């Protein structure tokens, strides 16, 4: 439970830290850290505007999307503390429940009958389809090294301090950062700051969503970041440490994750849209590398 | 047993009556005989579930007894299939009463006769062990399904029907050849004699098994033998497509399982080949589905994809058998059976729903539809539900089998065999890609068809939303299964273990059962979260108020329905990646350079299937060769007499040799 509470608390600061980093790097002072949350509060109290074309799907879609992300929180362990629900291969459910949310998000995008939202929807499903093998292979590698198949046990028995696991941990963190960037439609796949419909992915899907629903989606996206941040933190936890150390490492990891994203977004240009599939497949290829390392570590390739 | 024989006779006589009745009486007689048949066979099945031994019956009714005895065997394993297809056939018949308009015509009478006999033949395919009986029932299935496909008797339909008939007979002869080899080596008519691998010489055994697998693979629609499937499904009436994809294709899988469960040697080779073909089938099927604009074709290709997933499960089962891994064997086989059950139910359900949509819009082209959810809300909601189940997303039932296949793959990935690890890795990647693409294909289909505005000037009539009892029955079965995965798993797992004589420690399957119960708990939590957030949202929206406005057009106010995203444009993104696998034909572009005032132009996109193109080429060359022989058709009687004379001389010479 402590993990979930920390995740939710840190979510309030996460987008703010990214923004602050970006502003400082571009020579501006930048808004206060909590500014994105103030925006969300503002949205919560605004009038909703629905498209004439929209149907029941628009009414339930954002809610289901948000709920799917909240549900996926239950699977996240916190160091040696177990997750709320854990079973063998629980990460499959974790991935699929996120996909369920995405299914409704895409339907919501198509519901308005807009000329832009279908484009975003099409790109979003395609990118998450292409990134999915990367995470599956990565977990395969992790479960091969540790010999366990649930988030809980994998992270409990994954020992960062063990010399031979350095490489895998590094690749794992790298892929999780990239995965978080793609799932949240950040640079270099998509730039949430540019509002040119033709090049957007996620933002173009929510053009016709307003008020409470938009607040839900913004918060869900911030939550997604901290979920992946907590997975990264779990990779870095040293085994058998007490809760204070864990909390400290967790908070430091999340903040540095946000700062790293800020850095990446400041210095990375955006990909051409046609180049994106290639970029995503490269991530899968890197996770195959993790798998090969796992094969070597377990003495299958000698 | 006398009573059951009597009921079988009554059922057959009732089916003959369909020729003489019409309208309500025709409906009544069809329904009665179908229900009677379902009742008696289900009774046998429950008998089999209750007993630990298989129930074998001797039915004096069977006419084709010359090749040995006429025992039929009903055990727990085939009981699953019997109940499954009986339920689907029955609901299909119920649905057809709404779908078919003219109950007077001769073709309707033949249609119902064939529908009943399809149901009967499937039963005999499942229960018989004698290959002559098996093939006879198989042939009845083929011919009845041919009559069912060509229901509307349009020339195009008949062409597709004949194409289907020929391809199915290729499948039939492969089976016949395989079984003849079996007869030659073992001297037995029983299919189960395939288990005696030592009676064959080594290559002959592999040849026999491969021939049978090819034959059954043909029926199941594995690539590259799938060309008949999308055509037949698209042309047949919707309830027939539903029954065919839900039941008939699964007969191919049943045959595969029947052979593979008793195969003794070459398992590693067979398993690897099956996994590779299945992976190709799965990915190719769903890729094609993503590019289809015809909703029935999309569903047909998604059937091919699901056959691929089933094949992956079967392959894992064989690999587990090679390495003597009881857990892998039992779980993979359970996954296969659960996938067969869920896919049959969901796919026939979706075909029925598609029938409703077709009757509403009178088109199957997704690009022309849109906004159906406002016109036929019940049908549309059911369609989305079915699509979620078909994409294998939790909390609906499509998820369980995929989860089980992932479970076996991940649990066995840290074994000490390099080859096995690589195969399991391929399975994981393939399943990941397949699920991702299926989300793509099904969001595309449901989003473009049901949501947004109408994309063309087709007329909608909303009558089809009125009596949806057949669909509701099927939907409630799907929902019940979705809510009780632990029960389903336990039931199937025990049957699988008893069929294979596998002993699995109780702790192991209790662990899996607990997993399914936990999945249920998460489903409940998820539903609770959705409800809570929805209620909060409702309060906020009531407080803040809401307003309806035109869709955001980026400053452009005269936005119309022609500017919406279509099915073609949605899948176009993926096309660059899929180029090597998918052929796209663009037709009818004739823009002239010097046209000052261009007239209306039409642009058609069409994706083609390589297997289909190959068959077309084959037919083309066949026709060329046959045309060469047309020279002999002179129409003069003396020439024909001469041919007869030449023939006699040849026979005379050959008899001397």
Residue B457: what are its φ and ψ, rounded to 5°? -100, 30
CA atoms B307, B310, B314, B315: torsion sign: positive
CA atoms B383, B389, B391, B393: torsion sign: positive
Closest CB from B442, B533, B547 relative to A47: B547
Same domain, B456 and B510: yes
Burial class (CB in 10 A: 0-12, 13-18, 19+), B193: middle
Closest CB from A55, A103, A197 relative to B391: A103
In angstroms, the separation between the Cα of residue B452 and the nearest Cα of chain A is: 4
Torsion of CA A262, A264, A269, A272, to 10 degrees: -110
Query: Domain range for residue B626?
Result: 608-657
Same domain, B219 and B173: yes
Residues B226 and B221: their CA atoms lie apart, in Å, by: 4
Same domain, B333 and B436: yes
In angstroms, the separation between the Cα of residue A21 and the nearest Cα of chain B is: 31
Q: For residue B476, is it within any domain?
A: yes
**Predicted complex ipTM:** 0.94
| CA B230 from centre of chain | 10
Closest CB from B393, B522, B569 relative to A99: B393
Q: Are B274 and B315 in contact (CB under 8 A)?
A: yes
B548: its two tokens: 């309806």
Interface contact flag, B418 A132, Cβ < 8 Å: no
Same domain, B324 and B377: yes
With contacts defined as CB-CB under 8 Å, which chain A residues touch B421? 144, 295, 300
SS3 state of residue B546 = strand
In angstroms, the separation between the Cα of residue B443 and the nearest Cα of chain A is: 6
With contacts defined as CB-CB under 8 Å, which chain B residues touch A133? 429, 432-433
Chain A and chain B share a number of CB contacts under 8 A equal to 249
Neighbouring residues of B76: CB distance < 8 A, sequence distance ≥ 6 = B48, B49, B54, B495, B498, B499
The answer to whether B533 contacts chain A (CB < 8 Å) is yes
In angstroms, the separation between the Cα of residue B87 and the nearest Cα of chain A is: 29
- Which pairing describes strands B546-549 and B583-587: parallel, antiparallel, or unpaired? unpaired
Residue A198: C-alpha distances to residues A175, A202, B58, B165 (Å): 28, 11, 70, 49
With contacts defined as CB-CB under 8 Å, which chain B residues touch A68? 526
Amino acid B589: pLDDT: 65
Shortest CA distance to A132 belongs to which of A94, A78, A174?
A94
Closest CB from A110, A140, A291 relative to B410: A140
> Which of B238, B265, B292 represents a domain boundary (last residue)?
B265
Q: Give the whole-number percent of chain B exceeding pLDDT 70.
A: 96
Find, in chain B, the residue whose alpha carbon is nearest to that of A90: B515
* Chain B from 372 to 401: CB within 8 A of any A CB: 373-374, 377, 381, 384, 388, 391-395, 399
Name the domain count of chain B. 3
Q: Are B333 and B317 in contact (CB under 8 A)?
A: yes
Interface contact flag, B534 A60, Cβ < 8 Å: yes
Interface contact flag, B526 A71, Cβ < 8 Å: yes
- The three-state DSSP-derived secondary structure of A126-183 is HHHHHHHHHHHHHHHHHHHHHCCCCHHHHHHHCCCCCHHHHHHHHHHHHHHHHHHHHH
B555: its two tokens: 């400053």
In angstroms, the separation between the Cα of residue B98 and the nearest Cα of chain A is: 27
With contacts defined as CB-CB under 8 Å, which chain A residues touch B399? 96
In angstroms, the separation between the Cα of residue B410 and the nearest Cα of chain A is: 7
Q: Give the whole-number percent of chain A exceeding pLDDT 90.
A: 40
Amino acid A276: pLDDT: 86
In angstroms, the separation between the Cα of residue B105 and the nearest Cα of chain A is: 41
DSSP B72-94: EEE-HHHHHHHHHHHHHHHHHHH
Shortest CA distance to B245 belongs to which of B340, B356, B146?
B340
The answer to whether B542 contacts chain A (CB < 8 Å) is no
With contacts defined as CB-CB under 8 Å, which chain A residues touch B563? 115
Interface contact flag, B564 A118, Cβ < 8 Å: yes
Amino acid B280: pLDDT: 93
Interface contact flag, B432 A136, Cβ < 8 Å: yes
Find, in chain B, the residue whose alpha carbon is nearest to that of A196: B554
User: In chain B, which residues have pLDDT < 70?
Assistant: 1-2, 53-70, 588-593
Closest CB from B403, B442, B525 relative to A92: B403
The answer to whether B446 contacts chain A (CB < 8 Å) is yes
Interface contact flag, A107 B447, Cβ < 8 Å: yes
Find, in chain B, the residue whose alpha carbon is nearest to that of A119: B570
SS3 state of residue B384 = helix
Q: For residue B596, is it within any domain?
A: no
Torsion of CA A268, A270, A271, A274, to 10 degrees: 180
In a mutagenesis test of the B interface, which of A44, A83, A129 is the best target, namely the one with the most B β-carbons within 10 Å? A129
The answer to whether B555 contacts chain A (CB < 8 Å) is no
Same domain, B55 and B91: yes
Same domain, B147 and B196: yes
Work out the number of other CB atoms within 10 angstroms of the CB of residue B83: 17
CA atoms B350, B567, A114, B599: torsion sign: negative
Residues B472 and B11: their CA atoms lie apart, in Å, by: 27
In a mutagenesis test of the B interface, which of A73, A107, A108 is the best target, namely the one with the most B β-carbons within 10 Å? A107
B154: its two tokens: 């349009």
Amino acid B55: pLDDT: 67
Does the pLDDT value for residue A143 go beyond 80? yes
With contacts defined as CB-CB under 8 Å, which chain B residues touch A66? 533
Shortest CA distance to B282 belongs to which of B254, B256, B301?
B301
pLDDT per residue as tens digits for the range A191-224 = 777 777 677 788 888 888 888 999 999 999 999 9
Same domain, B245 and B339: no
SS3 state of residue B325 = coil
Shortest CA distance to B446 belongs to which of B381, B394, B361?
B381
Q: For residue B508, is it within any domain?
A: yes
pLDDT per residue as tens digits for the range B295-339 = 999 999 999 999 999 999 999 999 998 888 888 889 999 999 999
Find, in chain B, the residue whose alpha carbon is nearest to that of A206: B552
Residue A176: C-alpha distances to residues A159, A224, A230, A249 (Å): 17, 12, 10, 17
Residues B615 and B635: their CA atoms lie apart, in Å, by: 32
In angstroms, the separation between the Cα of residue A120 and the nearest Cα of chain B is: 9
Residues B290 and B574: their CA atoms lie apart, in Å, by: 9
Torsion of CA B625, B631, B635, B640, to 10 degrees: -90
Each domain of chain A, given as residue ranges in start order, spans 2-12+52-293
In a mutagenesis test of the A interface, which of B522, B539, B567, B571 is the best target, namely the one with the most A β-carbons within 10 Å? B522
Same domain, B188 and B308: no
Q: First CA to last CA across chain B, in angstroms?
A: 56
> Which of B226, B242, B265 represents a domain boundary (last residue)?
B265
> Which of B479, B496, B516 represents a domain boundary (last residue)?
B516
The H or E element containing residue B587 is strand B583-587
Interface contact flag, B544 A48, Cβ < 8 Å: yes
Residue A201: C-alpha distances to residues A19, A266, B36, B68, B467 (Å): 19, 19, 56, 67, 41
B169: its two tokens: 């007979």
Where b means 16+ CB within 10 Å and e means fewer, A61-96 reads bbbbbbbbbbbbbbbbbbbeebbebbbbbbbbbbbb
Is pLDDT larger for residue A235 or for residue B593? A235
B1: its two tokens: 């047993």
Residues A212 and B543: their CA atoms lie apart, in Å, by: 11
In a mutagenesis test of the A interface, which of B391, B443, B568 is the best target, namely the one with the most A β-carbons within 10 Å? B443
Mean pLDDT, residues A240-244 taken together: 82
Closest CB from B407, B545, B552 relative to A208: B552
Amino acid B57: pLDDT: 67
Residue B517: C-alpha distances to residues B403, B482, B527 (Å): 14, 12, 15
Amino acid B438: pLDDT: 93
Q: Are B315 and B272 in contact (CB under 8 A)?
A: yes
Residue B188: C-alpha distances to residues B68, B133, B180, B209, B406 (Å): 9, 13, 10, 15, 40
Residues B292 and B606: their CA atoms lie apart, in Å, by: 8
Closest CB from B421, B530, B577 relative to A277: B577
Same domain, B402 and B359: yes
Interface contact flag, B546 A211, Cβ < 8 Å: yes
Same domain, B276 and B252: no
The answer to whether B653 contacts chain A (CB < 8 Å) is no
Residues A84 and B68: their CA atoms lie apart, in Å, by: 61
In a mutagenesis test of the B interface, which of A140, A143, A146, A151 is the best target, namely the one with the most B β-carbons within 10 Å? A140
Find, in chain A, the residue whose alpha carbon is nearest to that of B389: A100
With contacts defined as CB-CB under 8 Å, which chain A residues touch B407? 88-89, 92, 149
* Chain B from 458 to 477: CB within 8 A of any A CB: none
With contacts defined as CB-CB under 8 Å, which chain B residues touch A96? 392-394, 399, 403, 435
CA atoms A30, A32, A35, A37: torsion sign: positive
Same domain, B208 and B289: no
Shortest CA distance to B169 belongs to which of B230, B85, B238, B228?
B228
In angstroms, the separation between the Cα of residue B418 and the nearest Cα of chain A is: 6
Interface contact flag, B447 A114, Cβ < 8 Å: no
Same domain, B170 and B297: no
Q: For residue B577, is it within any domain?
A: no
* Chain B from 39 to 98: CB within 8 A of any A CB: none
């Amino acid at each position: 439970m402590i993990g979930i509470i920390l995740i939710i608390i840190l979510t309030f600061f996460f987008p703010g830290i990214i923004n602050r980093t970006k502003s400082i790097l571009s020579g501006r002072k930048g808004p206060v850290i909590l500014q994105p949350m103030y925006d969300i509060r503002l949205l919560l109290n605004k009038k909703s505007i629905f498209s004439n074309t929209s149907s029941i799907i628009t009414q339930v879609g954002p809610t289901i999307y948000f709920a799917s992300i909240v549900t996926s929180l239950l699977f996240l362990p916190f160091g040696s503390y177990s997750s709320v629900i854990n079973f063998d291969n629980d990460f499959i459910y974790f991935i699929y429940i996120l996909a369920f949310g995405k299914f409704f998000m895409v339907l919501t995008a198509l519901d308005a009958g807009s000329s832009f939202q279908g484009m975003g929807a099409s790109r979003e499903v395609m990118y998450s389809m292409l990134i999915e093998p990367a995470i599956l292979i990565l977990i395969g590698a992790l479960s091969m090294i540790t010999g366990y198949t649930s988030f809980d046990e994998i992270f409990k028995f994954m020992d960062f301090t063990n010399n031979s696991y350095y490489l895998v941990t590094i690749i794992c963190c790298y892929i999780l950062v990239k995965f978080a960037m793609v799932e949240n439609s950040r640079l270099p796949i998509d730039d949430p700051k540019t509002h040119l419909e033709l090049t957007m992915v996620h933002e173009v899907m929510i053009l016709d969503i307003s008020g409470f629903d938009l607040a839900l989606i913004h918060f869900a996206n911030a939550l997604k970041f901290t979920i992946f941040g907590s997975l990264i933190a779990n990779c870095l936890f040293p085994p058998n440490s007490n809760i204070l150390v864990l909390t400290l490492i967790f908070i430091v990891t999340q903040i540095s994750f946000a700062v790293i994203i800020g850095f990446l977004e400041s210095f990375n240009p955006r990909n051409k849209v046609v180049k994106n599939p290639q970029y995503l497949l490269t991530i899968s290829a890197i996770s195959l590398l993790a798998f090969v390392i796992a094969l070597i570590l377990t003495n299958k390739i000698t | 047993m006398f009573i059951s024989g009597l009921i079988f006779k009554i059922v057959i006589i009732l089916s003959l009556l369909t020729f003489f009745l019409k309208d309500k009486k025709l409906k009544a007689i069809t329904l009665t005989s179908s229900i009677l048949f379902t009742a008696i066979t289900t009774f046998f099945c429950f008998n089999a579930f209750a007993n630990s031994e298989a129930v074998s019956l001797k039915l004096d009714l069977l006419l084709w007894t010359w090749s040995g005895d006429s025992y039929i065997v009903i055990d727990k394993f085939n009981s699953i299939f019997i109940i499954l297809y009986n339920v689907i056939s029955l609901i299909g018949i119920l649905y057809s009463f709404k779908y078919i308009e003219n109950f007077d015509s001769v073709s309707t009478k033949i249609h119902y006769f064939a529908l009943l006999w399809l149901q009967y033949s499937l039963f005999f395919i499942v229960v018989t062990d004698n290959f002559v009986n098996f093939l006879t029932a198989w042939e009845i299935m083929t011919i009845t399904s041919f009559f069912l496909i060509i229901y509307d008797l349009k020339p195009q339909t008949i062409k597709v029907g004949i194409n289907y008939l020929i391809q199915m007979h290729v499948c039939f002869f492969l089976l016949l050849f395989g079984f003849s080899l079996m007869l030659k080596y073992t001297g037995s008519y029983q299919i189960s004699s395939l288990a005696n691998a030592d009676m064959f010489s080594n290559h002959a055994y592999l040849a026999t098994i491969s021939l049978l697998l090819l034959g059954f693979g043909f029926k199941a629609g594995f690539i590259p033998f799938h060309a008949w499937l999308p055509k037949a499904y698209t042309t047949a009436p919707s309830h027939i497509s539903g029954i065919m994809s839900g039941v008939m294709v699964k007969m191919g899988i049943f045959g595969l399982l029947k052979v593979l469960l008793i195969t003794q040697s070459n398992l590693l080779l067979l398993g690897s080949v099956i996994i590779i073909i299945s992976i190709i089938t799965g990915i190719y099927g769903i890729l094609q589905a993503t590019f289809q604009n015809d909703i029935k074709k999309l569903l047909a290709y998604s059937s091919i994809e699901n056959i691929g997933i089933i094949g992956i499960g079967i392959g894992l089962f064989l690999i587990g058998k090679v390495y003597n891994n009881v857990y892998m064997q039992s779980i993979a086989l359970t996954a296969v059976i659960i996938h067969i059950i869920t896919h049959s139910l969901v796919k026939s359900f979706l075909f029925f729903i598609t029938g409703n949509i077709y009757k509403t819009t009178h088109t199957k082209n997704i690009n022309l539809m849109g906004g159906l959810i406002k016109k036929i809300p019940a049908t549309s909601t059911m369609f989305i539900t079915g699509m979620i189940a078909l994409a294998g997303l939790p909390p609906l039932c499509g998820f369980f089998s995929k989860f089980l296949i992932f479970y076996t793959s991940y649990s066995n990935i840290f074994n000490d065999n390099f080859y096995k690890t690589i195969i399991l890795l391929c399975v994981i990647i393939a399943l990941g890609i397949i699920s991702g693409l299926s989300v793509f294909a099904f969001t595309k289909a449901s989003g473009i068809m049901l949501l947004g505005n109408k994309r063309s000037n087709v007329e909608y009539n909303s009558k089809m939303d009125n009596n949806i009892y057949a669909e509701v029955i099927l939907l409630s079965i799907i929902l019940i299964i979705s809510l009780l995965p632990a029960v389903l798993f336990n039931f199937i797992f025990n049957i699988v273990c008893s069929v294979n004589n596998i002993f699995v420690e109780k702790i192991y399957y209790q662990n899996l059962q607990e997993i399914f119960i936990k999945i249920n708990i998460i489903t409940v939590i998820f539903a609770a979260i959705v409800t809570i957030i929805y209620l909060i949202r409702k309060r906020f929206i009531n407080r803040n108020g809401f307003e309806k406005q035109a869709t955001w057009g980026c400053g452009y106010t005269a936005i119309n329905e022609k500017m919406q995203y279509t099915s073609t444009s949605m899948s176009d993104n993926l096309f660059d990646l899929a180029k090597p696998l998918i052929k796209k034909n663009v037709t009818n572009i004739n823009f002239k350079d010097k046209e000052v005032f261009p007239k209306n132009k039409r642009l058609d996109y069409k994706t083609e299937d390589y297997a289909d193109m190959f068959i077309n080429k084959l037919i083309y060359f066949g026709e060329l060769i046959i045309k060469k022989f047309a020279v002999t058709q002179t129409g003069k009687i003396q020439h024909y007499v001469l041919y007869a004379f030449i023939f006699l001389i040849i026979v005379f010479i050959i008899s001397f040799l």
